[in-house]
């Protein structure tokens, strides 16, 4: 694969009172969400393929006069692990973001389809996410909704990925807090649940949850701590497990992974965000530094998401900033923000 360049901040064409259909033609559906939808489209002038994310702009946050998601993607620019923004349209009370099309499907769907993973692949996936987060940190951005649905594979085979969906992302402020939790429950850090200030390590918490989920087939806080391992927890029980950081490595899907993998996860899943490692420290962790030939090739034979209470996505998930709350009974849905 060609090496992609890093280019930021990015010059993005922003059009107001221009219908995006003047420049693009929709050719298929990529996904639906509560507040919008994502279509596959091609640019009429060049024939290039893109993803078009359309949603209402009423009550959406702005940053220096620009829609927050546009401002963030402009700042982030182009990076090998991030799907970049190509153009933005504000027309008829709707915003349409024309973004890079990532054709390989969501990581969620990929692993569910294959049904097994080995630890070497997991390390590759986590390293790429960390590299993406390192760049976001360089741009002062917190994603706030990292999960397998928002990690898109570059191709139908292989495990190169890109982070998508910055609808809940914010620019970092040292005293930042939100009046309503933002993100997806099973990946949400304790400080987010409690509406306490968020930081770059808030995203790292989600990375550790994803690592555990890939290895075990279930997120750490969805596992009952009462001995009934097959019981499906309520959102309230999951929330309490997160708040008190209650999890273990006794699940059959993860008990035989390397000590380095367990240590990586344990170092990040700490209640106090200031005591978590930085993204640089995570990238330097022995688990990330192990060469593939040195890693135990233990094939994962458990089916991923076997106990998950979340809905299975068919493509992109839509998370746009709004004052309206999503149904808190469904942990698949981000729990909104202001």
Instruction: Please give the positions annotated as active site.
Output: 145
Give the residue from 314, 323, 328, 337 showing the smallest Cα distance to 33: 314
Which residues partner with 16 through β-bridges?
90
- Give the C-alpha distances (Å, rounded to integers) separating 68 from 64, 85, 150, 171: 9, 13, 18, 9
Listing DSSP states for 69-110 in one string gives HHHHHHHH-BBTTBPPEEEEEEETTEEEEEEE--TT-BHHHH
CA–CA distance, 279 with 203 (Å, rounded to integer): 9
Residues 6+ apart with CB under 8 A from 301: 115, 116
Give the residue from 113, 115, 97 showing the smallest Cα distance to 105: 113
Phi and psi at residue 147, to the nearest 5°? -170, 165
Here the tokens at position 177 are 């807090």
Cβ proximity of 185 and 237 under 8 Å: no
Strand-strand pairing, 85-91 and 13-16? parallel
Sheet containing 13-16: which strands, arranged edge to edge? 13-16, 85-91, 94-100, 49-56, 36-43, 24-33
CA–CA distance, 104 with 160 (Å, rounded to integer): 9
Give the residue from 184, 187, 188 showing the smallest Cα distance to 328: 184
In the chain, the DSSP E strands lie at 13-16, 24-33, 36-43, 49-56, 62-63, 66-67, 85-91, 94-100, 141-142, 151-153, 161-163, 170-171
């Amino acid at each position: 694969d060609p090496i992609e360049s890093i280019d930021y901040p990015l010059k993005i064409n922003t059009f107001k009172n221009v219908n995006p259909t003047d420049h693009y033609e929709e050719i298929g559906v990529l996904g639906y969400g509560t507040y919008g939808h994502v279509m596959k489209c091609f640019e009429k002038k060049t024939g290039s393929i893109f993803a078009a994310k359309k949603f209402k702009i009423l009550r959406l946050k702005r940053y220096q006069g620009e829609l927050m998601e546009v401002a963030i993607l402009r700042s982030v620019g182009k990076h090998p692990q991030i799907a970049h923004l190509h153009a933005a349209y504000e027309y008829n009370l709707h915003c349409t973001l024309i973004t890079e099309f990532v054709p390989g499907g969501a990581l969620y769907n990929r692993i569910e389809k294959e049904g097994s993973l080995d630890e070497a692949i997991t390390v590759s996936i986590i390293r790429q996410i960390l590299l993406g987060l390192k760049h976001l940190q360089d741009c002062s951005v917190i994603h706030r909704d990292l999960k397998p649905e928002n990690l898109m594979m570059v191709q139908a085979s292989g495990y190169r990925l890109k982070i998508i969906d910055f609808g809940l992302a914010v620019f970092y402020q040292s005293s930042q807090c939100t009046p309503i939790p933002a993100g997806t429950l099973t990946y949400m850090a304790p400080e987010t649940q409690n509406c306490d200030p968020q930081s770059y390590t808030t995203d790292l918490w989600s990375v550790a949850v994803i690592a555990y989920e890939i290895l075990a087939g279930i997120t750490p806080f969805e596992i009952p701590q009462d001995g009934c391992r097959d019981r499906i927890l309520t959102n309230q029980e999951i929330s309490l497990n997160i708040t008190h950081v209650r999890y273990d490595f006794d699940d059959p899907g993860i008990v035989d992974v390397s000590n380095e993998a367990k240590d990586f996860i344990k170092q990040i899943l700490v209640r106090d965000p200031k005591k978590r490692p930085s993204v640089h420290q995570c990238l330097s962790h022995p688990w990330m530094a192990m060469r593939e030939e040195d890693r135990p090739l233990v094939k994962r034979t458990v089916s991923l998401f076997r106990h998950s209470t979340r809905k299975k996505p068919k493509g992109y998930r839509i998370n746009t900033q709004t004052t309206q709350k999503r149904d808190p009974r469904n942990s698949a849905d981000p729990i909104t923000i202001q």
